[in-house]
Structure 1
């Protein structure tokens, strides 16, 4: 669940980002920059990450601060779920990634599943939208909404991508080590519940 220090750091970062985007007074801009620096120091102190790495992340964020969107494809075959092994951490995740400007969530998920698994899919329906802070993910500098979209395979074959090193289907009782930055065991099991009960309403935090 969300750590209090992380929540405070994100709120300070959002306030400073909004202030830097809309303030005109040079003294206010200086104060908002000081707030941004403070949020960086909090992250560095507790997350064991170099200040320059955090500063680079935050410096790329301009304009009004809003949550990021992570879109994940939910693909079942023979009562097993499609997962890809991530090159970054060697653990398994639902295929997906950040939402792209100019693409709808369905278009993003179709693209991501193809690039990461080799399967052509059609996006069928939204299963859930979660706020990452309510779930057991590791600390992240960003506030993230995660979209889970059910997809059907219409072509292609299992094939690793630039960011993935293996593609496989798993049943609910034999899940591999999951990439908890991307998805948790609780979330994957929730998705299996949709497989058993397709009439369930969309889950939303």
Structure 2
């Protein structure tokens, strides 16, 4: 779980940016701008990186009312093993997925991500968890995320193959998982998927 300094700095920055969208009085605009600058400096100090880098990350979702970004992940099981992909960015493993794209439903997004990252077609029968990244065991993040986890079913006998952003795709037993890319997936995401796979009558987990 992220510390309170990071959580509060992110909230402060979101309030400031939302205020700038709706403020009309020049003094309010000046105050919100100052608050935004303070929040960016706090995030820069906490992330041990430059204000310019933080500003670039924040600017991706800066227009309008500030809301969490959406990350979709899919769990596919075969012979009691789970499908993981190896990220080129850090060499670590994760459930396939990524940012949700505009114009696609959540299910369509994860179908696309799994095909692009692992080379197989899937159907998406169940949503098994909705998590707030800041409240989980994930690597802390400057941005705020909701993470949607789907239980998926492979179609046909497609051969696994890495995509443009991945360097590997393999099935792993749950008691022998590789090093995980913990900003994307943690062990409990995989074990929650297995519990749901074993009993789809259980309720979807959410924070």
Does TM, normalized by the shorter one, top 0.5?
yes
Look up the SS of the partner of 2:125 in the other structure. Answer: strand
- Runs (4+) of structure 1 exceeding 6 A deviation are none
**What's the CA shift for 1:14?**
0.9
Most deviating of 191-200 and 76-85: 191-200
Alignment of 1:104-119 (within 5 A): 104-119=105-120
Q: Can you list the C-alpha shifts for 1:9-56, whole angstroms capped at 9, x where unaligned?
A: 111111011111111122211211111111111111121122110011
Alignment of 1:65-104 (within 5 A): 65-104=66-105
Distance 2:71 2:142 in 1: 14
Distance 2:147 2:140 in 1: 15
Q: Does 1:175 align with 2:168?
A: no
Alignment of 1:17-96 (within 5 A): 17-60=17-60, 61-96=62-97
Q: Are the counterparts in 1 of residues 134 and 141 from structure 2 also a CA contact under 8 Å?
A: no
**What's the CA shift for 1:141?**
1.2
Unmatched runs of 5 consecutive residues or more in structure 2: none
TM-score (normalised: structure 2)? 0.96
Aligned positions, number: 205
Q: Can you list the C-alpha shifts for 1:82-120, whole angstroms capped at 9, x where unaligned?
A: 000001111000010111111100000000000000011
Distance 2:52 2:154 in 1: 42
